[in-house]
Structure 1
Amino acid sequence: MDHDLALIVGLVLIILSIPSIIAAFSDGHAPRVAAFTIIAGGALLVWAISSKPGGYTISDVPDTFVRVVARYLP
Protein backbone atom coordinates (compact mmCIF):
# COMPACT_ATOMS: atom_id res chain seq x y z
CA MET A 1 0.00 0.00 0.00
CA ASP A 2 1.45 3.33 -0.96
CA HIS A 3 1.47 6.42 1.24
CA ASP A 4 -1.28 8.27 -0.61
CA LEU A 5 -3.70 5.36 -0.46
CA ALA A 6 -3.01 4.80 3.25
CA LEU A 7 -3.67 8.48 3.97
CA ILE A 8 -6.99 8.49 2.13
CA VAL A 9 -8.19 5.16 3.55
CA GLY A 10 -7.29 6.33 7.05
CA LEU A 11 -9.19 9.58 6.63
CA VAL A 12 -12.24 7.82 5.20
CA LEU A 13 -12.27 5.30 8.06
CA ILE A 14 -12.13 8.05 10.65
CA ILE A 15 -14.84 10.12 8.97
CA LEU A 16 -17.17 7.13 8.55
CA SER A 17 -16.79 6.10 12.20
CA ILE A 18 -18.21 9.38 13.51
CA PRO A 19 -21.89 8.42 12.85
CA SER A 20 -21.21 5.06 14.50
CA ILE A 21 -19.92 6.79 17.63
CA ILE A 22 -22.93 9.08 17.78
CA ALA A 23 -25.33 6.16 17.29
CA ALA A 24 -23.62 4.10 19.99
CA PHE A 25 -23.74 6.91 22.53
CA SER A 26 -27.37 7.74 21.73
CA ASP A 27 -28.34 4.08 22.24
CA GLY A 28 -26.38 3.90 25.48
CA HIS A 29 -23.82 1.38 24.20
CA ALA A 30 -20.05 1.49 24.20
CA PRO A 31 -18.69 2.43 20.75
CA ARG A 32 -16.39 -0.60 20.45
CA VAL A 33 -16.44 -1.00 16.67
CA ALA A 34 -16.14 2.73 16.13
CA ALA A 35 -13.18 2.90 18.51
CA PHE A 36 -11.44 0.09 16.63
CA THR A 37 -12.14 1.85 13.33
CA ILE A 38 -10.70 5.12 14.61
CA ILE A 39 -7.59 3.33 15.87
CA ALA A 40 -7.11 1.61 12.50
CA GLY A 41 -7.65 4.85 10.61
CA GLY A 42 -5.29 6.71 12.92
CA ALA A 43 -2.62 4.06 12.49
CA LEU A 44 -2.90 4.37 8.71
CA LEU A 45 -2.65 8.15 8.97
CA VAL A 46 0.41 8.02 11.21
CA TRP A 47 2.09 5.46 8.96
CA ALA A 48 1.39 7.50 5.82
CA ILE A 49 2.61 10.76 7.31
CA SER A 50 5.71 9.30 8.91
CA SER A 51 6.84 7.15 5.99
CA LYS A 52 6.45 9.71 3.19
CA PRO A 53 9.55 11.86 2.79
CA GLY A 54 8.55 15.40 3.66
CA GLY A 55 5.18 14.32 5.06
CA TYR A 56 1.85 15.88 4.13
CA THR A 57 0.37 19.28 4.70
CA ILE A 58 -3.32 20.09 4.98
CA SER A 59 -3.27 21.62 1.49
CA ASP A 60 -1.90 18.34 0.05
CA VAL A 61 -4.90 16.28 1.15
CA PRO A 62 -7.46 17.33 -1.53
CA ASP A 63 -4.94 16.81 -4.35
CA THR A 64 -3.96 13.45 -2.90
CA PHE A 65 -7.61 12.42 -2.64
CA VAL A 66 -8.26 13.27 -6.28
CA ARG A 67 -5.10 11.42 -7.42
CA VAL A 68 -6.03 8.28 -5.48
CA VAL A 69 -9.63 8.26 -6.71
CA ALA A 70 -8.50 8.87 -10.31
CA ARG A 71 -5.97 6.05 -10.05
CA TYR A 72 -8.44 3.41 -8.89
CA LEU A 73 -11.56 4.41 -10.82
CA PRO A 74 -11.60 3.74 -14.57
Structure 2
Amino acid sequence: MTYDTFFVVGLFILVLAVPAILGAFRRGEAPRVPAILVLIGGGLIVVAIGAKPNAYSISTIPQVIDSVISHFIAYLRT
Protein backbone atom coordinates (compact mmCIF):
# COMPACT_ATOMS: atom_id res chain seq x y z
CA MET A 1 0.00 0.00 0.00
CA THR A 2 1.23 3.43 -0.83
CA TYR A 3 0.79 6.44 1.38
CA ASP A 4 -1.81 7.79 -1.02
CA THR A 5 -3.88 4.69 -0.30
CA PHE A 6 -3.49 5.23 3.43
CA PHE A 7 -4.69 8.80 2.96
CA VAL A 8 -7.76 7.85 0.90
CA VAL A 9 -8.76 4.97 3.17
CA GLY A 10 -8.37 7.25 6.18
CA LEU A 11 -10.63 9.85 4.56
CA PHE A 12 -13.19 7.17 3.73
CA ILE A 13 -13.22 5.89 7.31
CA LEU A 14 -13.62 9.44 8.66
CA VAL A 15 -16.56 10.06 6.32
CA LEU A 16 -18.19 6.84 7.53
CA ALA A 17 -17.64 7.87 11.15
CA VAL A 18 -19.66 11.09 10.85
CA PRO A 19 -23.14 9.47 10.52
CA ALA A 20 -22.20 6.95 13.21
CA ILE A 21 -21.30 9.75 15.61
CA LEU A 22 -24.51 11.63 14.86
CA GLY A 23 -26.57 8.46 15.30
CA ALA A 24 -24.95 7.64 18.63
CA PHE A 25 -25.61 11.12 19.98
CA ARG A 26 -29.18 11.03 18.70
CA ARG A 27 -29.81 7.75 20.52
CA GLY A 28 -28.16 9.14 23.66
CA GLU A 29 -25.38 6.56 23.62
CA ALA A 30 -21.66 6.97 24.03
CA PRO A 31 -20.02 6.97 20.58
CA ARG A 32 -17.48 4.23 21.30
CA VAL A 33 -17.26 2.60 17.87
CA PRO A 34 -17.32 5.93 16.00
CA ALA A 35 -14.51 7.16 18.25
CA ILE A 36 -12.44 4.13 17.26
CA LEU A 37 -13.22 4.85 13.60
CA VAL A 38 -12.04 8.44 14.03
CA LEU A 39 -8.81 7.23 15.64
CA ILE A 40 -8.14 4.71 12.86
CA GLY A 41 -8.98 7.13 10.04
CA GLY A 42 -7.07 9.97 11.63
CA GLY A 43 -4.11 7.69 12.28
CA LEU A 44 -3.95 6.63 8.64
CA ILE A 45 -4.07 10.24 7.51
CA VAL A 46 -1.35 11.23 9.99
CA VAL A 47 0.89 8.39 8.76
CA ALA A 48 0.39 9.46 5.14
CA ILE A 49 1.04 13.14 5.86
CA GLY A 50 4.05 12.26 8.03
CA ALA A 51 5.61 10.25 5.22
CA LYS A 52 4.89 12.84 2.51
CA PRO A 53 4.59 16.20 4.32
CA ASN A 54 4.04 18.48 1.32
CA ALA A 55 2.12 16.08 -0.91
CA TYR A 56 -1.40 16.65 0.39
CA SER A 57 -3.42 19.84 0.32
CA ILE A 58 -7.08 20.68 -0.14
CA SER A 59 -6.57 21.22 -3.86
CA THR A 60 -4.79 17.88 -4.42
CA ILE A 61 -7.25 15.64 -2.54
CA PRO A 62 -9.48 14.95 -5.61
CA GLN A 63 -6.41 14.03 -7.67
CA VAL A 64 -5.15 11.67 -4.97
CA ILE A 65 -8.56 10.00 -4.67
CA ASP A 66 -8.79 9.62 -8.45
CA SER A 67 -5.30 8.14 -8.60
CA VAL A 68 -6.01 5.57 -5.88
CA ILE A 69 -9.34 4.54 -7.42
CA SER A 70 -7.80 4.18 -10.88
CA HIS A 71 -4.98 2.01 -9.47
CA PHE A 72 -7.55 -0.13 -7.66
CA ILE A 73 -9.64 -0.58 -10.82
CA ALA A 74 -6.51 -1.46 -12.83
CA TYR A 75 -5.60 -4.02 -10.16
CA LEU A 76 -9.06 -5.58 -10.36
CA ARG A 77 -8.85 -5.93 -14.15
CA THR A 78 -5.67 -8.02 -13.99
Give TM-score scaled by structure 1 length.
0.93
Partner SS state of residue 44, structure 1: helix
Flag structure 2 segments of 5+ consecutive residues without an equivalent: none
The 1:27/1:53 distance shift into structure 2, 3 A limit, reads closer
The 1:26/1:62 distance shift into structure 2, 3 A limit, reads same
Aligned length: 74
What is the percent sequence identity of the aligned residues?
A: 39
AA partner of residue 54 (structure 1): N
Runs of 4+ deviating beyond 6 Å: none
C-alpha distance in 1, partners of 2:3/2:26? 35
1:7 aligns with 2:7: yes
RMSD: 1.1
Partner SS state of residue 59, structure 1: helix
Give TM-score scaled by structure 2 length.
0.89
Flag structure 1 segments of 5+ consecutive residues without an equivalent: none
Measured after TM superposition, the shift of residue 51 of structure 1 is 0.3
